[in-house]
Amino acid sequence: MFRSAAPMFNMTIAIFSLLLVLILTVTATPQNTDSVCIIGSGIGGSSLAHFLRQYDASSLNVKTIRMFERNGVVGGRMRTVTIAGETVEAGATVLHPKNYHFLNFTKLHKLKIKNPSSSSSGDDFFSLGIWDGHKFLFKTLGFQSSLPFVQKIVNLANSVLIFARYGLSLFRMNSFVERTVGSFLNYYKSFEERPVFETVDEMLKWAGLYNLTRRTLHEELVDAALSPLLIHELATVRTLIWFDNRK
């Protein structure tokens, strides 16, 4: 019994030694960093590819950037869709005038920055529609005129229609967004003004955003005194669009 076990033991040692040699050989081989793969060609993936190429990551020895995209076009959520025969902007959905990084990106590419509040001047056309997947639940006037005074009247009528539907909740929602964005702007402070965070919780508490991670968005908006109609038709739907491209 003892003799028959010896060959098996020797074979085990030989196999173990061979595996050890293979592992050492693989780990000793220099890793090839000629290519960088980026998943998704939305604004995040496209920006990453752009800056990698612009700054020429020579320290990484990057020669080829490969981008993988499941759709036939680049841009991610920055696209238009056709609903009931009308062309509608479907994104990008998370653009805010106080997003300084994005503003710098637009200036870098010499893009025209349009103030979102410019429609209040009456010179630009704006409209709003609430689509439930089958029909429009609510829609403002879609009339567009080349005459400035006529367009001002149409825009004023649209503002009245929107206010009649959502009331003061529109102003409360604006205040809620401004407070939240104001807290987020703390992260734009200089390194001298920001402490060093050891945990994510510390970082969120410092900026005043920690409570938003402990409750649902619906609970926060109810406390902000927004109407159930506005929460359902605007806030909830927009959140689904932000975090689910299929919506």
78 lies in some domain: no
Question: Structural domain tally of the chain?
Answer: 2
Closest by CA position to 174, among listed 215, 122, 221, 232: 221
H helices of 60-147, in order, are: 100-108
86 lies in some domain: no
User: Do 150 and 178 fall into the same domain?
Assistant: no
The model's pTM is 0.58
Instruction: Please list the residues that pair with 68 across neighbouring strands.
Output: 39
User: Do 224 and 192 fall into the same domain?
Assistant: yes
56 lies in some domain: no
Cα separation of 76 and 42, whole Å? 4
pLDDT in tens, the chain (247 residues): 444 444 444 445 444 454 444 454 444 445 555 788 899 988 888 888 888 877 765 666 677 888 899 888 888 877 777 777 777 777 665 566 777 777 777 788 787 776 654 444 445 556 778 877 778 888 888 777 778 888 888 888 888 998 999 999 989 988 998 888 889 888 888 878 888 889 999 999 999 999 888 888 888 889 999 999 988 887 766 666 555 544 4
Q: Mark which of 101, 128, 157 sits at the end of a domain.
A: 157
User: Do 195 and 225 fall into the same domain?
Assistant: yes
User: Do 205 and 185 fall into the same domain?
Assistant: yes
User: Do 196 and 151 fall into the same domain?
Assistant: no
Q: Mark which of 128, 157, 186 sits at the end of a domain.
A: 157
User: Do 227 and 193 fall into the same domain?
Assistant: yes
Name the residue range of residue 133's domain.
115-157
Q: Mark which of 123, 157, 191 sits at the end of a domain.
A: 157
18 lies in some domain: no
Q: What is the dihedral of CA 51, 53, 58, 60, to 10 degrees?
A: 70
Q: Is 147 exposed, middle or buried (0-12, 13-18, 19+ CB in 10 A)?
A: exposed
